[in-house]
Structure 1
């Protein structure tokens, strides 16, 4: 294993946020400007690359659910090789690297190779989605907490844990008054909807699905838990999208009235 003292380059995982370039942090912009190599996820808005230096090498390493993707092992090999060659590497990831971005896995592999890795947070899609709807994730009167959960957990022989127990999660969300923010849940929406109801969440629980949050092509549909799958399909929404479940959405009507009044 290489020791850090022998490694000339460096690597930083950078969260590119939900898509809108103006939602990047200043620290993220500085890291992109300093990079000599950028390994860019498929969901990163191309406009964000305007801050890359002209001579930087940009490598698109697409990873999107349901589509042909660059193998994770290959991405990690690219990162390690570039750092050992003395490059300043930025691994540019949609949203936040540590929220369903496999950033934890990449940091672990880099450390095993003797490479320390910095991380710059980005706004995660789940937060951007509810903000786009004009409602919060938590609310003193409606939600005492929030759960971020993936609807597309690792399965098969490689999985270390059982799939998400949606029934148990529903019971917890009901009793503890939690907002559920479900990433990568569109493909499994029928099972998620049924199991959340089986777990005790009322059929009239408000639900919203937001596709491409913060981007010009953003689309959304509001519904109830009982009608989630039907309304999602009727609206023609697909991935990437975030499903939000909870009473915080009951404030949407007032938020939309305010937006109309102030022209926002």
Structure 2
């Protein structure tokens, strides 16, 4: 199993770690830490040393209640870091929903478009379809960031998430994007209750029937806080535990803040899994 991206074909025979690089002043757990290009680039280098396989750069917060950021401001935050990050050798993902940002990021060398709107915003599908090889992650979100937790989805989330992701993957394939370029994300925390998020984790293997690799992001999510009573900055252990459970249930990529600890935990998991089957290939 592979994920084809703009510059690299990522081998998913073992789980991969995507390191989060927030270039925003207002992300829910670490906004404002990377306020300039040298600090952001040093952080990218640190994540790679700690074992990140992919860097995920985001210049617009998607925390619950967050307002939209104009495209020119998002690009101002993103492009100077992106242009340097692509020189580090690892695949670089850009977390954005705007077609203009996607096009400029891909032109600057980004490998992957990671879109919480699953290419539903104006021009987004066109931007990805026009590129010959970029990877894309399609995520499920109920509602939109400003209001999604005020009116979360109702009922069992798993069937609804599966139907949505199947439809979006089909729409992207219909535009000529090869299946090997597509990864799906169930969207933990995006318009879902804690019970629904944990239900998705329990039933996650069912999403593999859609036929695409899964990318899952539990890192520091509020559902972990609900389960443990810990604040965002205290959720290292719950985040690593959730990442391991996601991988055990078939996720091929985990999106995390705490790269070093997640990588170490996955090394133990892989060592214990040797007799079950090499890297779940």
After TM superposition, the score normalised by the length of structure 2 is 0.30
Flag the structure with larger Rg.
1
Instruction: Name whichever structure is richer in helix by fraction.
Output: 2
Instruction: Name whichever structure is richer in strand by fraction.
Output: 1
